[in-house]
Amino acid sequence: MSNIRVRIAPSPTGKFQIGNARTALFNFLFAKKSGGTFIVRMEDTDQSRSTKESEENILKSMDWLGLSWDEGPTIEGDGYKGSFGPYRQVERLNTYDEYINMLINEGKAYKCFCTTEELEEERSKQKEKGIAAPKYSGKCKNLSKEEVEANIKEGMPFTVRFIIKPEKVKFNDLVKGDVEIDMSNYGDPVLVRSDGMPLYNFVVVIDDLLMKITHVIRGEDHISNTPIQIQIHEALGNTPPKFGHIPLTLTPDKKKLSKRHGAVSIDEYREMGYLKEALINFLVLLGWSSGNEQEIYSLEELINVFDLSRMQKSNAIFDIERLNWLNGIWIRKKDINEIVDLSKPYFEKMNVKSDQEYLNKIMLLIRDRLKYLSQIPELTDYFFNEGRLDKQKLVFKKSTAETTKKGLEAACNKLSSLGRWPESTEDFSTILAGAVADNGMANGDVFWPIRYSLSFSETSPSPAELLWALPKEVSLTRIKKAIDAL
């Protein structure tokens, strides 16, 4: 195993979203391709919003997707796996205190007693002077030791701020290449709130340091945090990890992804009937390609071919139709028994209790039309329930009701006289073709009304396929009702 260590650090404040899943996937693939370690860490310092339910949802979603982690919280209970824990930030507060005191004692951080009103006044004055991006003046940095002690003695609340070096921070981004950020535009960031709770830019550095994280792969929206974190690492005498900022995922009109455009939880995609293989395949193609024509990848294939240098620099576009296309492909790649098993929750919602053989037949007929499994009720209802017959739709194009009735009767007579119900669609096609030939009719005078009378739909499988799948009694009863309707 290599010494490469990467992490995904979600906040357990809601369900596991598609964007977090994409970031987790890229970290997972980077670790597995290199024989490294993939770590899950919970950023749960926001205790007012963090919940155990959210943590479980994150872990169960990752597990369902196949993104197994080497270190981090376990799905059940409050345990961990790995020797660099705890892996929940709220359980590491004493450790953060040690490092914040170290920075203060070494003159690299300071206590700030500025009130919210004072800070707002500073910002307003800077804006009045035409400063587009106001920053904290740093005035508390100049307080004497005696002034600090006096303020504390008076019970004045304070935050802790890190002293930014006003220099240019340069780093080689694993995705974007050489990056240079001028820190003279940054104010001293708050590391610890007045209630004593440490903030993101500080705790993430301490965790990455102590967990020996070698590579940080995250969204491009974090790039403004990177120079701050690099300076904190250096202030602690640590060599920062390597950073890679992956492009964002935007809507087709280049806006931030919203729930309306696909920014929903993995749970919701799963409930809609998207397969995990399709989601993995779709997510990896949001900003990455192998450099060849291949688009269909299993997780195992991706582990073998993944190369972070193949990540595009421009933002990715979330195209739900591409996801639907990929999901359809993965549905068709599945063994018929497996896809029926995956579909059973949707059949159960229809209160359907049918044997495996019947469900297999149905799935064989509708599989090519499925984009996601939650379409099953609308595509299969007529296999279990009789629909409303519209006698006008029984008549094909320029045919007549009289001719249509004659065609249905001819087909019904042939089917009723069969000693043994055929077992292939070809046999049913031959029988229907015989009804056409024997009566000098057009195909549409027989095939179309049989199809509609069996499915109550104009977009169903062929009449021969319907006769093959539906029970004999159901087929004959529906055809006879169509005859009576004319």
* Residues forming the active site: 259
Distance (Å, rounded) from C-alpha 75 to C-alpha 391? 57
Q: Which residues pair with 72 in a beta bridge?
A: 81
Within 13 A of 347's CA, how many CA atoms are on the CB side?
A: 19
Distance (Å, rounded) from C-alpha 88 to C-alpha 78? 10
DSSP class of residue 2 equals -
Distance (Å, rounded) from C-alpha 186 to C-alpha 404? 80
Beta carbons within 10 angstroms of residue 436's beta carbon: 18
Return the structure tokens found at 159. Answer: 């935050």
Distance (Å, rounded) from C-alpha 454 to C-alpha 119? 74
Q: Which residues pair with 215 in a beta bridge?
A: 242
Residues 26, 50: contact at Cβ < 8 Å? no
Within 13 A of 407's CA, how many CA atoms are on the CB side?
A: 27
Return the structure tokens found at 238. Answer: 């640590």
Residues 284, 333: contact at Cβ < 8 Å? no
